[in-house]
Structure 1
């Protein structure tokens, strides 16, 4: 396996159904001689999971036989939800989490259609802008009545 393939397969600690590559947090992997440098772009600069992500990438690369590993942060360009891959969006929906709308940064109170990941209905409502993590909001489907989390656009 290449260093990229090893690092790309590391699961996100907060959304374990996604890899760091699915989430778009893995910003690059460079191999220079015997040194591997993995670049991570956290979902936001204060992300509490970034240290765990870095440790997991380091451990996986070392376990794969790479001895000189460096994990670095890349904050420019900043992460956005547009970096979540199509596979990542599919995996979120399959896990019951509504993925963010691609190409939409939402800052105001305008109504947007959010489909329920359980039944597919567009009859949904936001219950709270704050979910289990800073990047999620709590929603509910008016048809099936199931609550679900949704990744906010950034």
Structure 2
């Protein structure tokens, strides 16, 4: 039988289906006891994330289909999820899907995330052509964790996962 962890790692995020929950970093822990009971711990990307109900249901269904009869899904809010938890594979998959990943962890290392008012001070690399000459069109994209940007070189719009 495939381990519960391996099964949980294959479940896709409903809002970013090119990523698994593991790629996104919201899959925190998967434990199995001697009786076959499985406990999966997840952390939402933000506390009001509407996808959490679907994520729980998808995890439960995948584990049940894999033969696990006793499955519990727990939500852990602390520490809060951060885009630093998106792995290199997840960042690559976002870019390949035309969504600019959040900035590298080394750009935002340590401390709280600064809040700035007004236009953004940095540029986001276009996932379509690789240009750095981009502009934010809207702080709000198709989901709360994404913003809408446009490349001034290729003129294509694209979404960018906001740094949190």
Structure-2 residue corresponding to 1:40: 42
Task: Indicate which of 107, 118, 126 corresponds to 2:115.
Answer: 107
Partner of 2:60: 58
Q: Is the 8 A contact 1:106 1:153 kept in 2?
A: no
Structure 1 stretches of 4+ with a deviation exceeding 3 A read: none
**Worse-matched range after superposition: 101-110 or 23-32:** 101-110
Provide the TM-score with structure 1 as the length reference: 0.97
Report the alpha carbon displacement of residue 32 of structure 1 after superposing the two structures with TM: 1.2
TM-score, normalization by structure 2 = 0.91
Name the counterpart of 1:123: 133
- Say what the alpha-carbon RMSD is for the aligned residues: 1.0
Tell me the CA shift for residue 107 of structure 1.
Answer: 2.2
Cα distance change, pair 106–151 in 1 and its aligned pair in 2 (3 A): farther
The answer on whether the counterparts of 2:18 and 2:97 sit within 8 Å (CA) in structure 1 is yes
Is contact 2:99-2:159 (8 Å) kept? yes
Counterpart residue number, 2:84? 82
Kindly indicate whether residue 152 of structure 2 is the aligned counterpart of residue 147 of structure 1: no
Offset at residue 106 of structure 1 (A): 5.1
The verdict on how the C-alpha distance between 1:130 and 1:86 changes in structure 2, with shifts beyond 3 A counting, is same
Q: Name stretches of at least 5 consecutive residues in structure 2 with no aligned partner.
A: none
Task: Indicate the residue corresponding to 2:148 in structure 1.
Answer: 138
Cα displacement (A) at 1:26 = 0.5
Q: Which among 87, 93, 96 is matched to residue 94 of structure 1?
A: 96
> How many angstroms does 1:50 deviate by?
0.2
